[in-house]
Amino acid sequence: MTAKLNIRPASLISIVYLLLALLYFSPVAVAYKLAFPLAFLTLCALRFSTWPMVLAMGFSALGDYMGVCHNFWGQMGGFALAHIAYLLFFCRTSPEERTSEGMKWKSAIVILYGVVVGLLIVPHVHGFLQAGVSVYVLLILTMCILAWRQKNPYYALGAWLFVFSDTILAWNKFVSRIEWAGYLIMIPYYLGQLILFMQSMRSREQNLTK
C-alpha cells in the first residue's frame, strides 16, 4: 500500500509536467508557456521536496520567464541562482566518500569538459557579459560535480543533461547557429530538471521512512 501511495503522486507530476513541456513545442500561442513546466515543479516541490529544491525550481522558472522576455542577463541570473540552490541541495544529500577515487576522476572529467567548452565559447562573448558567462560556467560545472558525487547516479544524469542544454544554448547564441537548436536545448533541459526533481522526491521519501 505504501509503495502505491508513493508512486501515484510521482506519476501524476511527471504526466502533467510532460504535457506542459509538450505545450511549449506545440503551435498553440500561449504567453510564457516556456516557463510553465518549471513553475509547476516549483509548486510540487513545496509539498514533495526540500526548500533548496523549491528554490532551484523557482529560480529556473524565473530564468525561463526572463528568456521569454529576451532578457539574457535576467535569464542567466535566474539560472545562476538555481545552480546555487542545487549546490545547497547536494550538500545536504548523500555524497560519496571524499577520499574515493571516483570523486577524483569525476571532478577531472567535468573540469576538462568545462575548460574545452569554455575555450571554444567564452572568447566569442564580448564586454562585461564575458565575465558573467564565465561565472555562470563555474557555477554549473560545480553543480555538475556535486551532482555526480551523489550516491544516486540519476542526479548526475540530470545535471549532465542541464550542462548539455546550456552548452548548446551558448554555442547557438555566441558562436554559430545550430539547426534545431530549440529542440536540442529544451528537450535535455526539461528532462534534466524532471530527473533532478523526481530524485529529490525519492530522497525525501527515503529520509522520512528511516
pLDDT of residue 4: 42
Q: How far apart are CA 207 and CA 130, in angstroms?
A: 41
Q: Cell numbers 534534466 label which residue?
A: 192
Pick from 96, 89, 97: nearest CA to 148: 96
Which grid coordinates are listed for 83? 545552480
pTM: 0.91
pLDDT of residue 98: 53
pLDDT of residue 3: 41
61, containing H or E segment:
helix 51-68
**pLDDT beneath 70: ranges in the chain:** 1-7, 94-102, 207-210
pLDDT of residue 180: 93
3-state helix, strand, coil in the chain (%, to 5): 85, 0, 15
